[in-house]
Amino acid sequence: MRAKQGAGAGAHAHSDLLPPIDVRVTQVNRERLRLLQALVPMAALLAALARGFDSLLALALLALLAGVCAWLFISSYARSSGQARALPGQIRLDRIKIRPGEFGQWRWYGRRAVIFELSCNVRVAPHSTADAEALRAMLQSVLGDPLRFRPRGSAALRRLAAATGISGAVLMYLAFKFEIKPLWLVGILMVFGGTAVLGAFSQSVADSPNNGRRE
């Protein structure tokens, strides 16, 4: 127990010595983005119906749904600038407190970090690329090592799903050009099925089975 306490105290002392870093912070509301992801296929379906069957009702619903999707996308991201400061047991990003018990998992890629929380992600990037390694060291001193991610599906399955979606789009074009409505519906199903599978297999999952978060 004393050894663990000594190690923790050493980590805190180390974090106190790290200078503040100018960063850009983006808070991402995952719940709104999930709702947006569910509504976008519906909007595309309404667009296809409005185009293929000349439906004024579908066009009106499409306009309404497009407005809702635009609001969800804009309101899902809150951006600000400030300083990242390492304090004992936490990192302060102005009014955001990053503590291991609340934001305990994070990912580093490129020159920025994504810190995971139940309802939102916090993206942190330094203003200067020269501060990237210092920012990584600051986060690691408080939150521990970052998670490693890999795609959920294989590259072959992703290519197959993409090919299915593209083939469906071609069928929709041919159906519209030659006015073959049954072929239009088949094309719609292929586009949506391929897109849904591609999105599912392109999600990133943590390598560790105990850290199965998706980004």
Answer whether residue 4 shows pLDDT above 70.
no
pTM across the whole model: 0.65
Contacts of 35 (CB under 8 A, 6+ apart): 72
Answer whether residue 211 shows pLDDT above 70.
no
What value does the mean pLDDT take over residues 70-81?
94
Instruction: Tell me the pLDDT tens digit for each residue of 133-160.
Output: 999 999 998 888 998 877 777 889 989 9
Which pair of tokens denotes residue 166?
Answer: 């593209």
Contacts of 1 (CB under 8 A, 6+ apart): none
Q: What percent of the chain has pLDDT over 70?
A: 86
Q: Is 73 helix (H, G, I), strand (E, B) or coil?
A: helix
Domain ranges of the chain: 2-147, 155-203
pLDDT of residue 104: 61
Distance separating alpha carbons of residues 153 and 160, to the nearest angstrom:
11
pLDDT of residue 207: 66
Instruction: Tell me the pLDDT tens digit for each residue of 16-66.
Output: 557 899 999 999 998 999 898 888 888 877 877 777 677 788 888 889 999
Of the pLDDT bands very low, low, confident and very high (cuts 50, 70, 90), residue 7 is very low
pLDDT of residue 204: 74
Of the pLDDT bands very low, low, confident and very high (cuts 50, 70, 90), residue 132 is very high
Residue 6: exposure state from Cβ atoms within 10 A (0-12, 13-18, ≥19): exposed
Nearest Cα neighbor of 53 from 176, 169, 189 is 176
Q: How many other C-beta atoms lie within 10 A of the C-beta of residue 175?
A: 19
Is the model more confident about 84 or about 48?
84
